[in-house]
Structure 1
Amino acid sequence: MTSWAAVKQLIRSDIDRYQYMLELDGVLPRRGPQLVRDLRTLLLCKGAQAGIVFRLGHALIAWTPTTVAGRWGRRVGRIGHWMAGRVIETRTGIQIADRATIGPGLYIGHFGGVIIGVVTMGANCNLSHGVTLGRSGRVGDLARPTLGDRVWVGPGAVLVGGITIGDDAAVGANTVVTKDLPARSTSVGSPPRTFPDRGSFEMIVYRGSEEDPGRHASLLRIAPAGGDRGLPEQRRRFEPEPTEVGPVVSGRPA
């Protein structure tokens, strides 16, 4: 069953991620008619174009109309979406499987070479150019990756098989990941090496990210080793300031 209001909300969340980045880059004014801002965003950001086509295609697959007119409308919509999808793939170099499950705030930063199979992905994830997410290619292995919230995937990275990438994890450029990656970890190199307690905190931003309770809670779970060395700046901002209680007398503050 499809809620078209929910589809509209997902599309809006995707577009807002691109608009926020354009605002930070000084390319898009922070104020102005929303329609003009949306059109300008779609013209500038190929990832936004591919994202909208994906959202509509995914909704059409899930839509189960109960009337004859609705069923014909679904057929016509599927044909139109198939044609639009081929155009978008050629124009953007981005291919997203209609049956993928992707949370709000998808951000694909650049043109080209992005292939997203029937994966499961959380909210506010960033994908760079040249990224592949899908099956491993082994005979009989049909499992696909599952990505948590706020996952950052660098240029040329490949994530394949039935792996799980935890919340706030990061995958470096040209890294091939075939095993699970814990939350808040970073995987880089070939063969990949995993570094805990770094993750994507310094690479993913979105409107309201500083107040996001899920991100906040994840930051506070990072355990600093050797003081503040290597601790993301965002974590330090969230930590409470130490409080002086004065000298202790008989087990109580003086």
Structure 2
Amino acid sequence: MLKLIKEDIEVAIEKDPAARNFLEVILLYPGVHALIGYRITHFLWGLNLKFLARFISFFIRWLTGIEIHPAAIIGKRFFIDHGMGVVIGETSEVGDNVFIYHGVTLGGLSSKNGKRHPTIGDNVVIGAGAQVLGPTRVGSFTKIGSGSVVLQHVPEYSTVIGVPGRIVFSGATTQDVADGEEAFPDPVAKDIESMLERLPQMEKEIRELKKKI
């Protein structure tokens, strides 16, 4: 557990250029506070001290604005940037080297027992306000765009945007994911680029129409 906590702190320093040192991250980063709390409560949950785990988890949510169920399974080097409003449900499974922003929900769509929350692969980036709902699987090396709502399985090396989420790009590399959000194509920028490419042809057609008038 201590090794996992140490790695969570180290990855915060690596991922956030605003993080100046180890002490600052420990004292001032709510995402790190929530993860330390989760590591402790998950350990207690495994010892069947479930009420104590839930009680501590409740306090951590009050302190940080981040809710992580003690039964959720989260891999190493997990980073929550900003953090406020993050919810990770009971049967969620999160791989290694996952990076999420504020307002993300890994939620359920059913009140039935059993698997009802998402499974997130390794090296995934989930943008601010994104909702990944139900027992869906998000493949490794995938980017979920800000504000997206994901209800279906997503293959590896994909970029998903929209409501409901749709795949707009596939073929990301390990380095793309390591570089973060800026390494992925901006769909709005791509649309603008396409319009600019068509502009000369449109101007030509307008000139021809004017000649005919």
Aligned-partner Cα distance in 1 for 2:150–2:88: 15
Aligned counterpart in structure 1 of residue 20 of structure 2, from 28, 48, 56:
28
- 1:142-221 correspondence to structure 2 within 5 Å: 142-194=115-167, 195-198=169-172, 201-204=175-178
Aligned to 1:232: none
Percent sequence identity is 31
**SS in structure 2 of the partner of residue 133 of structure 1:** strand
Pair 1:113 & 2:85 matched: yes
> Is the Cα contact below 8 Å between 1:186 and 1:199 reproduced in 2?
no
Cα drift, residue 205 of structure 1 = 5.2
> Is the Cα contact below 8 Å between 1:152 and 1:170 reproduced in 2?
yes
> Is the Cα contact below 8 Å between 2:57 and 2:69 reproduced in 1?
no
Cα drift, residue 142 of structure 1 = 4.9
Aligned-partner Cα distance in 2 for 1:199–1:157: 22
Pair 1:41 & 2:33 matched: no
**SS in structure 2 of the partner of residue 202 of structure 1:** helix
**SS in structure 1 of the partner of residue 132 of structure 2:** strand
Aligned-partner Cα distance in 2 for 1:128–1:136: 22
Residues 93 and 193 from structure 1, CA distance in 2 versus in 1: closer, same or farther, beyond 3 angstroms?
same
TM-score (norm 2): 0.74
- 1:1-254 correspondence to structure 2 within 5 Å: 7-22=1-16, 24-25=17-18, 27-29=19-21, 37=22, 39-63=23-47, 79=52, 81-117=53-89, 118-137=91-110, 142-194=115-167, 195-198=169-172, 201-204=175-178
* Residue type at the aligned position of 2:154: L
> Is the Cα contact below 8 Å between 2:144 and 2:161 reproduced in 1?
yes
**SS in structure 1 of the partner of residue 5 of structure 2:** helix
TM-score (norm 1): 0.63
**SS in structure 2 of the partner of residue 159 of structure 1:** strand
Aligned-partner Cα distance in 2 for 1:59–1:138: 25
Q: Which runs of 5+ in 1 are unaligned?
A: 1-6, 30-36, 65-73, 207-254
Aligned to 2:190: none
* Residue type at the aligned position of 2:132: L
Q: Which runs of 5+ in 2 are unaligned?
A: 181-213
Deviation string 1:127-150 (CA, Å, 9 cap, x unpaired) is: 111111021147778522111101
* Residue type at the aligned position of 2:2: K
* Residue type at the aligned position of 2:37: V
